[in-house]
Amino acid sequence: MKALIPAAGHGTRFLPVTRVVPKEMLPVGSKPAIHLIVEEALAAGADEVVIVISSEKEIIRRYFDGDPTLAARIRWAFQTEQKGLGHAVLQGAPLLANETEPVLVLLGDALVSGEPPSAAMAAISRTHGGASVVGLEEVPLEKVSRYGIVRGELIEERVLKLDDLVEKPAPEAAPSRLAIAGRYLLDPAIFTLLATQTPGHGGEIQLTDAIRRLLADKPVYGYRYPGRRHDIGNPAGYLETLKAFA
C-alpha cells in the first residue's frame, strides 16, 4: 500500500508561528506531528509515503532526510498553487500513477489519539474487495459546515456503505452529522477524477467532490473510527493534541 500526506497548506489559522514553522512540524513530545502521521501510515502497511509540500515547507523534507531509514520510504511532491485539498492530492498522482491498490491519504494536520484508524480502514477495504473507505467522526449540527458530510447505511458495527458526500453543507442541508475526519483509503481512480474536478466549495478543488463522483462507479465505505481526531492547525486544537498525547 502507498500513502499520501498533503502538507502544503499555508497554516493561516496558526499565524504567526507558521511564518517559519509549518504546523505539521509542531512538536508532539519529541517528534513533529507529521512524523507521527508517517508512523501511522507505515504501521497500517504502507511501504512508501508521498508527502506533498510547497517550496516554503522544505524544512519538512530536511527533517525526514535526517533519518535515512524513514527517508528511504518517503517521496516528495510539490504544490505550487493553493487550489484546495483535491488539488494538493492530485500533485501526488505522477508518483502513484501505476497504483492498482487503494492509496491511504492522511491529512497532515490531523492526528488521531487512541486507536489510529488507518490499519482498521485497510482491513475494511480488504473485506470489501479493495473498496475505498473514508474515516468518519460524528460532529455537532452547528459544526457540520466545517466538514465534508456523508450519508450512508450502517452495514456493520462502525461501517457504513456511503451513498452521498457533501463538502461543508449548511446545517439544514447536511445529510447527517457524520464528518469526513482526516483519513481516506481511495481507489486510484480518484487521481483521474481529480484531474477533471471543477472548483467546488470556496472555489477550491475539493477531494470530497471527486469522491462523490467515484461513488457513481465504485462503492465507498465509511468507518466511524473509535479514536479522537485532533486538528493541529490552530492553537486550541494543538493544545488539545498535546493533552491527549501527554
∠ at Cα 68 (64, 70), nearest 5°? 55
Report the nearest approach of ligand G1P to the CB of residue 168 (Å). Answer: 7
Q: Which is nearer to ligand G1P, 70 or 244 (CB)?
A: 244
Strands 220-224 and 178-186: unpaired
Q: Which residue is nearest to ligand G1P (CB)?
A: 148
Note whether 105 binds ligand G1P by CB under 6 A: no
Which class for 193: exposed (0-12), middle (13-18), buried (19 or more C-beta within 10 A)?
buried
- Scan residues 64-93 and list those touching ligand G1P (CB under 6 A): 85
Interface pick for ligand G1P out of 49, 179, 194, 232 (rule CB under 6 A):
179
Note whether 181 binds ligand G1P by CB under 6 A: yes
Interface pick for ligand G1P out of 22, 108, 117, 148 (rule CB under 6 A):
148
Stretch that binds ligand G1P, among 56-64, 68-76, 192-200, 201-209 (CB under 6 A): 201-209
Q: Is the peptide bond before 219 cis (omega within 30 degrees of 0)?
A: no
- The backbone torsions φ and ψ at residue 83, rounded to the nearest 5 degrees and listed phi first, read -115, 15
Q: Which is nearer to ligand G1P, 35 or 212 (CB)?
A: 212
Note whether 180 binds ligand G1P by CB under 6 A: yes
CA distance from start to end of the chain: 30
Note whether 40 binds ligand G1P by CB under 6 A: no
Q: Which is nearer to ligand G1P, 97 or 173 (CB)?
A: 173
- The backbone torsions φ and ψ at residue 196, rounded to the nearest 5 degrees and listed phi first, read -115, 15
Note whether 14 binds ligand G1P by CB under 6 A: no
Note whether 106 binds ligand G1P by CB under 6 A: no
How many residues at the interface with ligand G1P, by CB under 6 A?
13
Note whether 147 binds ligand G1P by CB under 6 A: yes
Query: x/- contact string, 159-178, with ligand G1P (CB under 6 A)?
Result: --------x-----------
Interface pick for ligand G1P out of 34, 74, 107, 185 (rule CB under 6 A):
107
Cβ(147)–Cβ(156) under 8 Å? no
Contact positions toward ligand G1P, by CB under 6 A? 85, 107, 110, 147-148, 167, 179-182, 206-208
